[in-house]
Amino acid sequence: MSVITPFKRRGLMKNQASIFTVILLICFSVIVSGCAVGFYKGRPSDKAKIEELKDELARLREAKSLLEDRLSSEIASDKVQLNMEDRGLVITFVAEVLFNSGKADLKPEGEGILKKVARVLKQEVSGNDIGVEGHTDNDPIKYSGWKSNWELSTARATSVLHYLVDSGSLDPENLSATGYGEYRPVASNATDKGKQKNRRVEIIIKPLPDAKITHQASDSDYIK
């Protein structure tokens, strides 16, 4: 006959409490995981939005691929860069490719490059909003007649915009131009190489806004 001492009794109670706690945790995990699965599946309208975003991303990637092909020599010589970013597909031009120092009139070489870009944009992303941004280094304006780098960067962005509209036949309603001057550098202005990177023009092809879903989902549309 075994005798349960107070010490053993406390041990049994602790074991029972531990087992009960484990059972509660398992039940909680099952409930939470079930909710998570239901939430992930979501409404049909949410799934449709996800599919639209996937299609839009695929479209931008296709445009990027075509631009890489058309601008292969410019990309190889570091005159142009292409990047997919959160804000969209970004085409970055070294300013010297498009403009002479301190000027905002496009060079013939720059027009040739923009002609290639405009053809792809019109073909692949004609309905997207397109922003043109001008940037400079931090050297103060001395001889070119501009009031500041803001004016120079804005004039350069506007020149590119006008070319895309006037010669590239892009819809002006979808385009905008902004000048940031020296205030959004991508490299240090302490070196000539860094300054050259900061003197740039960027064309940003923005993703289309979420398309409106005509189907109005009800509670019964949730996937349990």
pLDDT at 37: 41
The pLDDT score that the predictor gives to residue 209 is: 75
**Which range, of 33-42, 131-140, 158-167, averages the lowest pLDDT?**
33-42
- Three-state SS annotation for 33-84: HHHHHHHHHCCHHHHHHHHHHHHHHHHHHHHHHHHHHHCHHHHHCCCEEEEE
Q: What percent of the chain has pLDDT over 90?
A: 65
Quote the pLDDT of residue 11: 53
Residue 204 token pair: 């940003």
pTM flag (> 0.85): no
Determine the pLDDT at residue 176: 98
Higher per-residue confidence, 21 vs 166: 166
pLDDT band at 41 (very low <50, low <70, confident <90, very high): low
What are the tens digits of pLDDT across the range 95-113? Answer: 999 999 999 999 999 999 9
